[in-house]
Structure 1
């Protein structure tokens, strides 16, 4: 027993000693670890980010670059300041947007503010869609119901030595796929099945700071299942440009928009109104032109603006073209004199490095005309404007290298019959220069705030366009902002004709209306009475009318003259001469068929436009924008006589087989097949316009407001009788007509099955005409005609029967 007690006592001492030793060891270990812990990390200093190895670019913000890190040094005085963030496509893959999206296109424009919050800087979007006077109680509600989204949160890395600036790292922001500033809108992501941004192939190309803006270029590569080009790569690579522009401290006093004069515009909902609903307000986009000498300006003297509009030419512009581009800008100087300003706009060559080493086309203080080496046939006139006021801040007009080829081709096709200088692939240099000058003038007009005005070409009588004295003085349309590019009306033998467009009286009128300073006006509403008077003084003169493309046949793109039927008759007459001579002017000179092929395709397009001008009269409605203080109707249907005349023209010049467009001397040189399909597509397009719900509905509505109207039922009957005229004789039906007749039946089927036509006259008209046609083709199939015509009629009968008696 004693031995057992002694054993347990020794065991207890052993365990106690071991535990104590472990405790001491643990304590010693903790002590040792504590002694090795470094002091608390110090707060990052300015010098950690900006030092001798840092590259710094000074401007709106200082940009510090350390290896691959980009740091913004934001002055605290700029926190809360409103800036404009503009996302553009700098370089794009071929075929993006179906070929209708160009490098330089704006994707998004939004107002942003940098805001300090605790230890962060927030980048927030500020909207001007809803506004209210900040002195009114409702302002609080507007703010509460329009909370500004935060698009990114940045940690403050450090401050400068006097704590007047904060440093934020923007590397991740600009190298990530941030949707708010993405160059790929959702529609592109869906179309091209974008999966993700590939970080390994994406990077910030550059960040540059200027006095009023910062420019960021992103090189982004996306994985995409269906890219627009280079499909085997499953890749879309693009360069995106982010421009951040400081907005003016004091917004320009805006000018209230009026749809009777053409201007691009901005809009918002103003809750400051005392009316029973919020006011929807719109303001025009315009440059801030203010006279240097207000008193002299008010006396009616020409005065220079405090800050003129200056465009700098791209150094890449070919020297032989520079003078024409410069003229295209400078031509507007005379227009601005109408608004009381002299030397208001001009073009200059950019300064050399020696003259100004800091000059850059990307600096928002400088507007430019870029010459882009691209196969795109286009030119654009975009601008950046302040959404608070509509003030245009800068503009970069883009000219694409191949655009002049389109103008050469159109010049040959539309004027070659009457204009000897156009009958060549080597268009005279002066003619090419004048075309370029007018294109630049057109794009400058856009950059000044003017949209297209397709009604301006309707101002001049058609036969006046055959007069040398008239066209030399007035041009071929009342504005450069129409798409009236060439005089296709003038006939062989007409003398001293101007064939190329020019600025016109509407341009002077619109610039005066938008830019003239109105004395004693301290707010936008003060100007309205004067602006209304300027419009109403000119209201009865078609030269000063503004109209947009829709349902109005007097506002159609590419048209000229106030009678589309007469103008298109002249145009087709000229095209027949051109078509006959096309091989002589192309392939016989070059000893290849490439130009003949290209120009024949474009000749069909020109013919199609002439056809479209006439087609627009059927079911057309003229739109005359007015205020209630003006007399007359706003909407006036085209007369029955004019619509009937248009239908007769279409039967003769479109639906009857146009053998002059199927010239074997051309077709058997350029293609092995497809001739009838090409021509058929234009005939089908015309039928699609006529047998369209909207066209027919306007004709049905005209019955209510028009005493003499062209009934929809009569139009469809006339169409059917003309297209199926062979059913009344023993004539064979040629190939083009057989195809056309099938298209007519298919279009009628579309209408009768369209849900929008079920409960109105359209379904009744279609059913009635198909019943008549079914009887006609059945009788015609039994007459003594060739085999294919018999088969064709039987096929038509079967198709109609299936439409009228669908199988369940």
Structure 2
């Protein structure tokens, strides 16, 4: 039994040893390289695809700023890492537009947004940010940390990196969603349009990318966007708004152009920055003018005073849609500015070219950010505009698109007839001679190009010329109608019948050469905006005291800065203009009707005739309570603001009472009114007179008159004197029993209503206006009450009683 037990023990030990040996061998096997490979966990799969799996053999690729790829319905950007965190300008435009979108003032080519963008990498994503340069500080200053922290730029979109190119110097991202989603910064629909047209959403199924091309300095994308809308501007039953958007991404210069500091005494469009690194004891607002980068090819010759071509001239291409007969005038309008650039030392600085044909350049497009164009738009809108795109870092204009709307011709034809027809026989027709229409178009293009060069309106330019000089052929042919094409001095409405050889249409003038020289002349040796300042100031000082070189934007208080005015005497100019309109009115039917045709043109021209008269009258209104503004610096003599002389204000008031607020019998042409409408003349003329009255009794005007009296005493035309003169003029019939016609009754009621409105405006902070207006109302109430008894029963008596009771009710209800 013992022997059996020993035998079993030996067998157990043998079995245990074999088992141990097997486990040990497995452990040893696990430690061997071969066994390790088999047993280890599989490596983590890369999140990136191989380049060739993305950009397949079927891909359509285009090389340029970025490589761009179309693979089926997917679009890719191949972004070089060296271009990450680089400033680029993204310009969004509507390249094809729905009819009526935007109320007529948007068109194919309209810009909807411009923004500086940067592409950046954050781990495995590429971010697209919109960058602002409104708040700045030098990168070397500590405060830049705070500027950056308090002006964090928004991320417009984020993209997963799909893969890399062969040498891993560029990342591939799919950008389809950027252009097929409703991103507000790329959209053609504003918030207001979305509300107005009741836009519900973007329909991605009906939206697509139609073009994506890369050029050395820019990438161009076209994408169709279709929206579901309850109230679209056209094709209402479709419930749809479709448009094609153009996105131009343009590489900005690595080194921005040296900015030029703005001086408000010379008119320029500007960009503004808040500089927190300034030595001023506050954040310093830096304002730079917007201008093209013009640098002389031969700096040494330029420094010697020779005319030199710029390294890169300004080139405008004419839209292929421009009618052939108008192209010469468009070219002239563009290249008229060469004379102004010669004043700045440059020759051939601005050039007009025809757009290349499809055969010459199949890739040319007016939406391409590399090209500036004059677009000819098939639209009923009567307008033209001259926008531009600029680098917010420096004010450098990158490109621009002048827009001419087809029906703008109609506006110029009509006003040419109305404003010059009395003295200009060739204007007395709806078929204006082609050469004269062409001359008008030329000057409109020049005006819009001026905007695109950086110049705003200068409404003070017309005031530089004596009014009677505009009746001189010698003067007007040499100097034009104003000192700049940038004024709204479209026609010479001062010239009278018999003034032979005068110029009728505006042109460039001396201010244009002065402003272009000031903004564009290269100043050798001035290596910063501050270094240029002394020279720029000296150029202004040299012209001090000469009205030809003054600048002023339009405002409501300065009679020397008004739109559509001519000459330096608003009363005299308006008298001349009114004399001409009194000749035009009785001839309007003869000049605008043709056998076998209706009276639509006559109706249109008659309405515009009232509008012209209203503008003329408005120039005189501005004299009352007016203040001249002449921008100055502290080292210049004189005052910036100077009230209009008392005698001039009184003369203006007398003119308004006699020629504006008296019924304009000359406008009541039976041959016109009996053919264009069953009624409406009373309302049309009444509305014009009421607008003039409302303008005259503006609160800010009355406040200026109060202040003028406080500062200048008896030298001022006072508020009470003006209100008294107005009342005596508007209610003059009440001194006897003169008939009060329908036009006058309307005006008298409007007078009372406007005085009441002034009292209501003054209710929360009563001033001298309330006291003076209340006194006027009592005078009118008393006079109307007394006069009503002198009239027999009828509408005139009813009118006066109504006025009396209306005022009584108002005064009792205070």
Say yes or no: TM over 0.5: yes
| Offset of residue 73 of structure 1 | 1.6
Q: Say if 2:532 is the partner of 1:530.
A: no
Q: Say if 2:341 is the partner of 1:336.
A: yes
The equivalent of 1:561 in structure 2 is: 567
Whole-angstrom distance in 2 between the partners of 1:470 and 1:612: 26
| Offset of residue 105 of structure 1 | 3.1
Q: Say if 2:758 is the partner of 1:754.
A: no
Shift of the 283–709 alpha-carbon distance from structure 1 to 2, 3 Å rule, reads same
Shift of the 399–141 alpha-carbon distance from structure 1 to 2, 3 Å rule, reads same
| Offset of residue 506 of structure 1 | 0.3
Q: Say if 2:774 is the partner of 1:806.
A: no
| Offset of residue 220 of structure 1 | 2.7
Q: Check conservation: 2:48, 2:161, Cα contact below 8 A.
A: no
- 1:600-632 CA-to-partner distances (Å, cap 9, x unmatched) read 111111111101111111121111000000001
Counterpart of 2:175 (choices 155, 170, 175) is 170
The equivalent of 1:777 in structure 2 is: 784
Counterpart of 2:772 (choices 765, 768, 771) is 765
TM-score by length of 2: 0.92
The equivalent of 2:59 in structure 1 is: 54
Whole-angstrom distance in 2 between the partners of 1:358 and 1:694: 56
Residue pairs, 1:218-367, within 5 angstroms:
218-229=223-234, 235-367=240-372
Counterpart of 1:541 (choices 519, 543, 546) is 546
Counterpart of 2:599 (choices 593, 597, 616) is 593
Q: Check conservation: 1:637, 1:706, Cα contact below 8 A.
A: no
Q: Check conservation: 1:208, 1:216, Cα contact below 8 A.
A: yes
Residue pairs, 1:647-666, within 5 angstroms:
647-666=653-672
Shift of the 799–240 alpha-carbon distance from structure 1 to 2, 3 Å rule, reads farther
The equivalent of 1:616 in structure 2 is: 622
Any idea what SS the aligned residue of 1:458 has?
A: helix
Whole-angstrom distance in 2 between the partners of 1:754 and 1:198: 49
| Offset of residue 215 of structure 1 | 2.6
| Offset of residue 488 of structure 1 | 0.5
Shift of the 784–396 alpha-carbon distance from structure 1 to 2, 3 Å rule, reads closer
The equivalent of 2:396 in structure 1 is: 391
Q: Say if 2:98 is the partner of 1:74.
A: no
The equivalent of 2:220 in structure 1 is: 215
Any idea what SS the aligned residue of 1:548 has?
A: coil
- 1:613-660 CA-to-partner distances (Å, cap 9, x unmatched) read 111111211110000000010011111111111111111222111111
Q: Check conservation: 2:48, 2:162, Cα contact below 8 A.
A: no
Residue pairs, 1:94-113, within 5 angstroms:
94-113=99-118
The equivalent of 1:517 in structure 2 is: 522
Whole-angstrom distance in 1 between the partners of 2:535 and 2:153: 37
Whole-angstrom distance in 2 between the partners of 1:494 and 1:770: 47
Shift of the 39–59 alpha-carbon distance from structure 1 to 2, 3 Å rule, reads closer
Whole-angstrom distance in 2 between the partners of 1:39 and 1:711: 88
The equivalent of 1:744 in structure 2 is: 751
Q: Check conservation: 2:93, 2:367, Cα contact below 8 A.
A: no
The equivalent of 2:16 in structure 1 is: none
- 1:342-368 CA-to-partner distances (Å, cap 9, x unmatched) read 111110112334444443333322211
Any idea what SS the aligned residue of 1:529 has?
A: helix
Q: Check conservation: 1:457, 1:561, Cα contact below 8 A.
A: yes
Whole-angstrom distance in 1 between the partners of 2:785 and 2:188: 59
Which stretch of the first structure deviates more once superposed, 415-424 or 61-70? 61-70
Q: Check conservation: 2:246, 2:367, Cα contact below 8 A.
A: no
Whole-angstrom distance in 2 between the partners of 1:683 and 1:739: 9
Q: Check conservation: 1:285, 1:392, Cα contact below 8 A.
A: yes
- 1:163-185 CA-to-partner distances (Å, cap 9, x unmatched) read 12211111112111112333333
The equivalent of 1:406 in structure 2 is: 411
| Offset of residue 43 of structure 1 | 4.1
Q: Say if 2:695 is the partner of 1:706.
A: no
- 1:380-439 CA-to-partner distances (Å, cap 9, x unmatched) read 111111000000111111111111111111111111000111111111111111111111
Shift of the 536–401 alpha-carbon distance from structure 1 to 2, 3 Å rule, reads same
Shift of the 492–754 alpha-carbon distance from structure 1 to 2, 3 Å rule, reads same
| Offset of residue 211 of structure 1 | 2.3
The equivalent of 1:195 in structure 2 is: 200
Shift of the 229–553 alpha-carbon distance from structure 1 to 2, 3 Å rule, reads farther
RMSD: 2.0
Whole-angstrom distance in 2 between the partners of 1:745 and 1:211: 68
Whole-angstrom distance in 1 between the partners of 2:145 and 2:47: 43
Q: Check conservation: 2:56, 2:71, Cα contact below 8 A.
A: no
Q: Which has the larger radius of gyration?
A: 2
Q: Check conservation: 2:104, 2:380, Cα contact below 8 A.
A: no
Number of aligned residue pairs:
771
Q: Check conservation: 1:478, 1:503, Cα contact below 8 A.
A: yes
Which stretch of the first structure deviates more once superposed, 90-99 or 705-714? 90-99
The equivalent of 1:15 in structure 2 is: none
The equivalent of 2:502 in structure 1 is: 497
| Offset of residue 99 of structure 1 | 3.9
Whole-angstrom distance in 1 between the partners of 2:450 and 2:320: 22
| Offset of residue 680 of structure 1 | 1.4
Whole-angstrom distance in 2 between the partners of 1:615 and 1:222: 48
Any idea what SS the aligned residue of 1:706 has?
A: helix
| Offset of residue 103 of structure 1 | 4.3
Any idea what SS the aligned residue of 1:397 has?
A: strand
| Offset of residue 190 of structure 1 | 3.9
Shift of the 625–40 alpha-carbon distance from structure 1 to 2, 3 Å rule, reads closer
Q: Check conservation: 1:289, 1:308, Cα contact below 8 A.
A: yes
Whole-angstrom distance in 1 between the partners of 2:578 and 2:434: 28
Whole-angstrom distance in 2 between the partners of 1:768 and 1:193: 51
Whole-angstrom distance in 1 between the partners of 2:240 and 2:454: 37
Whole-angstrom distance in 2 between the partners of 1:337 and 1:761: 55
| Offset of residue 567 of structure 1 | 0.4
Any idea what SS the aligned residue of 1:216 has?
A: strand
Which stretch of the first structure deviates more once superposed, 719-728 or 572-581? 719-728
Whole-angstrom distance in 1 between the partners of 2:300 and 2:44: 72
Whole-angstrom distance in 2 between the partners of 1:449 and 1:726: 54
* Structure 2: unaligned runs, 5 residues or longer: 1-41
Whole-angstrom distance in 1 between the partners of 2:461 and 2:65: 44
- 1:663-695 CA-to-partner distances (Å, cap 9, x unmatched) read 111011111121111111111111111121111
Whole-angstrom distance in 2 between the partners of 1:111 and 1:87: 12
- 1:283-333 CA-to-partner distances (Å, cap 9, x unmatched) read 000011001111111111111111111111112211111111111111111
